[in-house]
Structure 1
């Protein structure tokens, strides 16, 4: 009979340990999920910042080319031609 109660006590201890481990793992999992959410938010912020900086860089390149930089003369001419075409289209639409 004492062997039976020792087995039951041992099982109770093991079940208690498993429950403790389960709770610890649930807590760690919740923390990791929260960290994932925070990292995704940071990633979105960085992507937006990269996009804004890319647009700013393109604007600066365009401004530099319009100031007469030899490096970007072709790009400037193409941009000006595209703008002139857009203006011509607008004028044509207005005159209809």
Structure 2
């Protein structure tokens, strides 16, 4: 019986240690999930900021070309022509 008692005590100690380890791992998992959420939020904010900055760059290129910059004149002319075609299309649709 003494051996059985020692075996049970040993199993109880191992179970207790495993339970503690489980609690620690669950806590660590929760912390990591929170970090992932924060990282995802930051990534979304950065994606929005990148999109805004790209728009700003495009607008600045347009402004530079309108101010006489030779670099982006072709792009500006193409954009203006595209806008004129869209306006003409809208006028044609309204005329019908």
- TM-score where L is the length of structure 2: 0.89
| Divergent runs of 4+, >6 A | none
Structure 1 residue ranges without an equivalent (≥5): none
1:95 Cα deviation (Å)? 4.0
Superposed, 1:1-96 pairs within 5 Å as 1-96=1-96
RMSD: 1.4
Structure 2 residue ranges without an equivalent (≥5): none
1:50 Cα deviation (Å)? 0.4
- TM-score where L is the length of structure 1: 0.89
- Measure, in 2, the Cα distance between the counterparts of 1:28 and 1:22: 10
SS in 1 for 2:41: helix
- Measure, in 2, the Cα distance between the counterparts of 1:33 and 1:78: 48
Offset from partner CA, 1:8-43 (integer Å, 9 cap, x none): 111110010000001101111111111111111111
- Measure, in 2, the Cα distance between the counterparts of 1:65 and 1:88: 24
